[in-house]
Amino acid sequence: MTTPHSAAPERSVVDRTLSILGAFDRDNRTLTLSDISRRSGLPVATVHRIVNKLHGWGALERCADGGYSIGLRLWETAVLAPRSSAVLEAAQPHLVTLHGQTSAAATIAIRDGMESVCLTFVSNDPDAFTGYGDAGRRVPLHASAVGQVLLAHAGAALQNEVCAGPLRSYTPATITSGAALQQCLARVRREGCAAVQGTLTPDRAGFAVPVRDSRGAVVAAVGVVGPLDVVQPRRVSPHVRAAAAMIQRCIRSEGLRVAEVGA
């Protein structure tokens, strides 16, 4: 017989609500109540009750087919996040210029845990997003140029945790050895940039540099992504570095406070 001491603790309302919101991702943008129940591990009756509350507030929207998707109210709340909004506001015009100068997709990303989070992509080429995704896409830090910049300037504990693996392989060019990744990060710190070829998709290259706040802390990484013959480090480096310098100047002149990557 199960005693009160051995029973699994009941999940709080907050935990259950977060599990429901967490059921949605880029591959599951619209879900039925049954889908949400299965993906969150919650009973359908519980899901129905909480979903109704979320729908009433605007965090979820009801679709014509009866399913649910993330609501506009939740998006409006999310864009208030100071770390992303401050950096994005400073970066947007300079990314447009960077795209025009290089003909590659210009992007800026911040770190969240062991992943880089793309804040925006500026490109006229829909194929530029292949593998890298669009705004909000998360990619493991070891697999992209912006991610390697962010990881290289993160704390030693996080670097060791990432290098301990496992390191997901996307292509034969993806770094999957912890020792090789440590060497790569040392080179990124030494050279002040990261350059990758075919690490996420075979025909795409990336180049990125850090963005620092007034204290010198790395708060983001700015870079370009594009075909191998377009994203050549010697060609794109001056433009990417200039964009990073302009973004840094905006962050510092506005006194924007953003959480540092190494924290």
pLDDT in tens, 195-221: 999 999 898 999 999 999 888 889 999
Read off the pLDDT band of 80 (50, 70, 90): low
Q: Residue 69 belongs to what H/E stretch?
A: strand 68-70
Identify the bridge partners of residue 61 per DSSP, sorted by sequence position.
Answer: 69
Q: Give residue limits of the domains in the chain.
A: 13-76, 82-253
Q: Per mean pLDDT, which range of 26-30, 36-40, 143-147, 233-237 is the poorest?
A: 26-30
Percent of residues, the chain, with pLDDT higher than 90: 62
Output the CATH code of domain 13-76. Answer: 1.10.10.10
pLDDT: is 250 or 38 the higher one? 38
- Going by the DSSP 8-state scheme, the letter that residue 12 receives in this structure is P
> 82-253: same fold as 13-76?
no
pLDDT recorded at residue 254: 62
pLDDT recorded at residue 73: 83
- Residue 171 sits at φ, ψ, to 5 deg, of -145, 170
The mean pLDDT of 20-26, rounded to a whole number, is 88
Q: Would the CA dihedral through 261, 90, 252, 194 be positive or negative?
A: positive
pLDDT recorded at residue 214: 84
- Going by the DSSP 8-state scheme, the letter that residue 32 receives in this structure is -
Query: Cα 93–185–258 angle (5° rounding)?
Result: 40
Pair type for strands 204-212 and 218-227: antiparallel
Can the peptide bond before residue 227 be classed as cis, meaning omega within 30 degrees of 0? no
Say if residue 108's pLDDT is above 70: yes
Q: Which CATH superfamily is domain 82-253 in?
A: GAF domain (3.30.450.40)
Tokens of 178: 């912890």
CA distances from 156 to 89, 151, 159, 233 (A): 30, 9, 5, 27
- Residue 164 sits at φ, ψ, to 5 deg, of -70, -15
pLDDT: is 72 or 196 the higher one? 196
* pLDDT, tens digit (0-9, with 9 covering 90-100), for 116-151: 988 888 888 766 555 555 667 789 999 999 999 999
